[in-house]
Chain A
Amino acid sequence: MELIIGTFANVLILSSMYILVALGFALLFSIMGILHVAHGAVYTISGYICYHLAQAVGLNGWLSLALTVVVVSSFGLLLERLCFRPFFGEFDRSLVVGIGLILIIQTTMVITRGQESLSIPSFVDGFLRYGPISVSHERLVTFAIGAALLLVLVWFINNTKPGLQMRAIAQDFRGAIMQGININWISAIATVIACGSAAVAGCLMGAYLNLNPFMGDHVLSKALILVILGGMGSMTGLFYAGLVLGALDATLPVFFSGSVAEVIAMSVIIVVLLLRPTGFLGREIT
């Protein structure tokens, strides 16, 4: 029973964090047509910034989280202006820029912090007990923040003017321009949102797990799977894909060893994509 509850809690936390990272990734892909492979590196660097603010500067945990989000979002503005806008819609070259960014960020991390394992101090302590079940507050808070942020983002995209403009650009780029939507302004907002949500995920996961310079790679591949499986340009599909991936990740290791579970998961994904190349809810793009 405790094992089931524990696994369930883990899957919820990991899924919400993966969806949070994947949402930004999907936003940038659908709006600007660029594959932002450096998204994992942004996630990593925000974990490190938060660690420095909390440990070296000695700020309160929540304050350093907020500061990190501000810093990384403004970095996102810079990123949009220098690295995304010149390569609008160019898949190949934006990929090269992304790899360049990954190399620079990872190397800086390795040189300054080495390969040592660091961890951000927990934001909250204590356990919640209910009968035989006990869940640490940290997990609850991580999940609550992730879920709340996701809800806010979905509301933003579906209900506000900039959000609707984002969806318009994703649906039909030319049509959106003709309606007078300022594409540069909207893609700047999208980049800030993407970097900000990646920063939140990076800080929370940095406290939940350990920091290391290459932790972004794993998250990036998960985000890529979510976006492909959910269907490019579909936000709802992303949530379904997140739940399916979470369920696969949670149940398969109970029955099989790690790499066999991975083989089965990959085969399932390949079969799904063969039957539905556009993902769960995606539409045909050319």
Chain B
Amino acid sequence: MKLKSPFTGNRGKMIKPGACAGLLIILIACPLFIKSPYLFHIFNLTLIYIIVAVSFRTIMTSGQLPLSHAGFMGVGAYASATAAKWLGWTPWITIPFGALVAMGVGVIMGYPFARLRAVYYAMISLFFGMLIISSVKAFDTWTGGAAGLTGIPTLFGYSKIPYYYFFLLLTSVCLLALYRLEFSRTGVTWKAIAQSHEVAASVGINEARYRILASAIGCLFAGLAGATYAHYNGVIGTTSFGLMATILLLIYVIVGGAGSFFGPIIGVVLLMTIPELLRGLREYVPYISAAILLIVVYIMPKGVAGLANSLLSWFTELRKNRRTSNAS
């Protein structure tokens, strides 16, 4: 009789969607058990940053390292916030508007930068991120400059729970879209370009177009997250979108594991949520982040998700070996 491994066949295919659905149900039921508004504030921020980190990784799969990504979150946030504050539009219109503006800027950046690869792309995009921040500071009559923009109209007032459900819905939809995209023909093409742009070009892939597309989609989601962040927080400042913010995003992705779709999610939860939950330790909190970083980097070369994957394959290997030794 042939034994079926739990990781192949029909049952195996249902494990991931099942786990996601279970997690979603737990998250939906959360407000029944947890009453602290502060906790929900942390959950909301986590959900926003998950979108940004996952979209960051989406651009990375196409072989580009956009060190301006937090800046695009800022483009979405400032476009949406200024439109809502000075033109009086409702946030429901300005949020898509902000996302589209971020996408437009991403495409404008993508065209000239598509001729640069690898390190050179990373470097020039780093300066583009700095350019975004200094432009925001230069137009200080509308954006509030270095002091930050206050009095942005919010979506649902001051209670955290409606935001929580809104962000849960938004993040789930975005993650689903990006997940489908990653395993679609486009996503595979991106990975091919990242592996070797010469081979990709030789089989007829238009490298520049696909890289601009990756940058446009990543920036769209970053802008969307930034715009909702602006209308959730009510206050935005340039420091949340600067070089350090981008480097932190990169750290979330690396620590979680850049090779896996779920890596950035794990990274955000580990490095953003856990230190926030330990707020009670006050100024000692960065030590905890540093400890997590160092532990991960010394013992898990491919990030937490990479470790999980290799454990899983080790486990299946073990089962296979036992089965063959039993049969013989």
Contact = CB atoms under 8 A, between A and B. Distances in A.
Q: Do A and B bind each other?
A: yes
Given A93-B297, A274-B112, A285-B119, A107 B284 contact: yes
A147 B294 CA distance: 37
Interface stretch (A1-9, A94-102, A128-136, A150-158): A94-102
The range of chain B's interface size is 35 or more
A99 B283 contact: no
Interface string A219-234: 0010011001000100
Nearest to B287: A107
Nearest to A101: B290
B289 A103 contact: yes
B124 to A, nearest CB: 5
B286 A103 contact: yes
A107 B124 CA distance: 30
5 contacts: A96-B255, A99-B248, A104-B287, A221-B243, A278-B120
A78 interface: no
Nearest to B132: A266
Given A101-B290, A277-B124, 19 more contacts: A95-B247, A96-B296, A99-B293, A100-B293, A100-B294, A104-B286, A104-B290, A107-B286, A107-B287, A111-B284, A217-B244, A221-B243, A228-B123, A228-B126, A262-B137, A263-B131, A263-B138, A270-B128, A285-B119
Contacts of A258: 137
A251 B254 CA distance: 40
Contact of B293 (A92, A96, A269, A285): A96
Contacts of B116: 273-274, 277
A267 B289 CA distance: 35
B127 A266 contact: yes
Contact of B254 (A95, A101, A232, A277): A95
A209 B294 CA distance: 33
B145 interface: yes
A286 to B, nearest CB: 8
B243 A259 contact: no
Contacts of B146: 259
B124 A100 contact: no
The interface residues of chain B, by DSSP majority, are classed as: helix
The 5 A-B residue pairs with the shortest CB-CB distance in the complex, in nearest-first order? A259-B137, A262-B134, A103-B290, A266-B131, A100-B293
Interface in B242-278: 243-244, 247-248, 250-251, 254-255, 258
Contacts of B287: 103-104, 107
A286 B198 CA distance: 13
Given A221-B243, A273-B120, A263 B297 contact: no
B128 A100 contact: no
B134 A263 contact: yes
Nearest to B119: A285
A92 B252 CA distance: 12
Given A107-B283, A259-B145, A277-B120, A96 B127 contact: no
A97 B124 contact: no
Nearest to A228: B123
A106 interface: yes
B254 A92 contact: yes
B95 to A, nearest CB: 27
Nearest to A271: B112
Given A93-B254, A270-B128, A273-B127, A99 B243 contact: no
Given A103-B293, A259-B137, A266-B130, A273 B250 contact: no
B138 A273 contact: no
B148 interface: no
Contacts of A269: 127
A267 B127 CA distance: 8
B298 interface: yes
A66 interface: no
B317 interface: no
A260 interface: yes
B135 interface: yes
A253 interface: no
A100 B123 contact: no
A93 B303 CA distance: 10
Interface in A188-233: 217, 221, 224-225, 228, 232
Which residue among A225, A232, A259, A278 has the maximum number of chain B CB atoms within 10 Å of its CB? A259
B88 interface: no
Interface string A64-102: 000000000000000000000011000011011101110
Nearest to B255: A96
B134 A259 contact: yes
A266 to B, nearest CB: 4
Nearest to B120: A277
Interface in B277-319: 283-284, 286-287, 289-290, 293-294, 296-298, 301
A270 B283 contact: no
B145 A100 contact: no
A87 B301 CA distance: 10
Which residue among B119, B145, B301 has the maximum number of chain A CB atoms within 10 Å of its CB? B119
A110 interface: yes
A92 B124 contact: no
A27 to B, nearest CB: 17
Contacts of A37: 247
B283 A110 contact: yes
